[in-house]
Amino acid sequence: MYDFKFQRPGGLAAALEAFQQADDGQFLAGGQTVIPVMKQRLAMPSDLIDLGALDELKGITVAGGIVSIGSMTTHAEVAASEDIRQAIPALADLASGIGDPHVRNRGTLGGSIANNDPAADYPAAVVALSATVHTDRRQISGDDFFTGMFETALEDGELITKVDFPVAEAAAYEKFENTASRYALVAVMVCRRAESVRVTVIGAGPCVFRVPEMEKALEAEFTSDALKDIAVSYPDLNTDLHASAYYRAHLIGVLTARAVKKAS
C-alpha cells in the first residue's frame, strides 16, 4: 500500500464535495475490487471516499411495480430480501450466487455495476430487466449504461444512488460458474414481458450483450424448443484458459434453454 487520504463523509453532498476537492479521488463501496486493485498499485487514488455512512444509498423498496435498490445495498441483502423474492425472484437468485459469503456481505450493487467486470452478474439483470440507473446528476437507461470492458457511461465523480428494476412477467437467471473464483464462465438472464423477451449474456464477451435471434424466437414461442435451431456465433467470444469461445457459445444455448424452462 502507499499513503492516501481516507475520508468517510456523512452525507451525499459531502461525499461529492470530497471528490471535487481531491486530486485523484475514488469512491469506496465494499472494497471488494478497490482494495485488491490498490494493493497491486493498479490504482493509486489520492483520496478514498468511503460511502459506508451514506444511509440514503442503502435499502430496498418495492412499490408501483418497481424494485428500487440503493447502490450501497449488499449482494447478501438483495439475496435475503423477501420483497425481492416476491417481486423478481430471479434478481434474488442472481445475488445469492455472487462469489462467497464474504464477497456477498461486503460487495454492493453500485460497486458491481460501476466496475463492470465482464463476468459480473448484475449487468445481466440491469439490461435484461430494462432497469434505470440513477446517479447524483441524471438517470441512465440500463441499455446505455455498460459501454465496454470495465467501461460505463459514468462521468468522472458521478455517483450511482440507486437502480430501479421494473417487475417482469417472468424472469430467470442461469449461471455456469468457475468453481475456483465463483465468477461466471457464462451466465444468461431471460426476461419475458407482454410485448417482448430479452436474453442477456455475461462472462462470454467483453461486456454484457443481448442475443436478438433468441429473443425473436422466444417472442414467437416461449419454450426451450424454440431455441433448438439457433447456433450462437462464437468468433467474437472470449477464449481463455478456462474455456474456448466455442464452448462459451455452446453454454449460451444450454443456459438460455434452462432459463426459459425456469421462467416458464
Ligand X SMILES: Cc1cc2nc3c(=O)[nH]c(=O)nc-3n(C[C@H](O)[C@H](O)[C@H](O)COP(=O)(O)OP(=O)(O)OC[C@H]3O[C@@H](n4cnc5c(N)ncnc54)[C@H](O)[C@@H]3O)c2cc1C
Interface contacts to ligand X, rule CB under 6 A: 26-34, 51, 71, 75, 98-99, 103, 106-108, 110-112, 114-115, 120-122, 159-160, 181-183
CB of 146 to ligand X, least distance (A): 13
Minimal distance in Å, beta carbon 194 to ligand X? 29
Work out the burial of residue 112: count CB atoms within 10 Å of its CB; fewer than 13 is exposed, 13-18 middle, 19 or more buried: buried
Rounded to an integer, what distance in angstroms lies between the CA atom of residue 219 and that of residue 215? 6
123 vs 253, which CB is nearer to ligand X?
123
User: Rounded distance, CA 45 to CA 48, Å?
Assistant: 7
**DSSP bridge pairs for 190:** 172, 199
**Complex with ligand X: residue 75 or 192, whichever CB lies closer:** 75
Instruction: Tell me the three state secondary structure of residue 173.
Output: strand
User: Which spans in the chain are helix H?
Assistant: 12-21, 34-39, 75-80, 82-87, 89-96, 101-106, 109-115, 122-128, 142-145, 212-220, 245-263
**Phi and psi (nearest 5°) for 159?**
-115, 130
Residue number, 34 or 232, with CB nearest to ligand X: 34
User: What is the number of alpha carbons within 13 Å of residue 224 lying toward its C-beta?
Assistant: 14
3 state DSSP class of 41 = coil
| Intra-chain end-to-end CA distance of the chain, in Å | 50
Nearer to ligand X by C-beta: 96 or 223?
Answer: 96
Strand, coil or helix: what is 163?
strand
The residues, any chain, with a CB within 8 Å of residue 64's CB and separated by 6 or more, are: none
Q: Report the residue number whose CB is nearest to ligand X.
A: 111
CB of 42 to ligand X, least distance (A): 11
What's the min distance (Å) between Cβ of 49 and ligand X?
A: 8
Decide whether 38 or 226 has the Cβ nearer to ligand X: 38
- In the complex, least distance from residue 217 CB atom to ligand X, rounded to whole angstroms: 28
Residue 242 CB, shortest distance to ligand X, in Å, is 13
CB of 129 to ligand X, least distance (A): 15
> Residue 112 or 256: which CB sits closer to ligand X?
112
**Which amino acid is it at 53?**
A
Task: Report residue 71 as a C-alpha cell.
Answer: 447502490
Question: Residue 135: helix, strand or coil by DSSP?
Answer: strand
Looking at beta carbons only, is 76 or 227 nearer to ligand X?
76
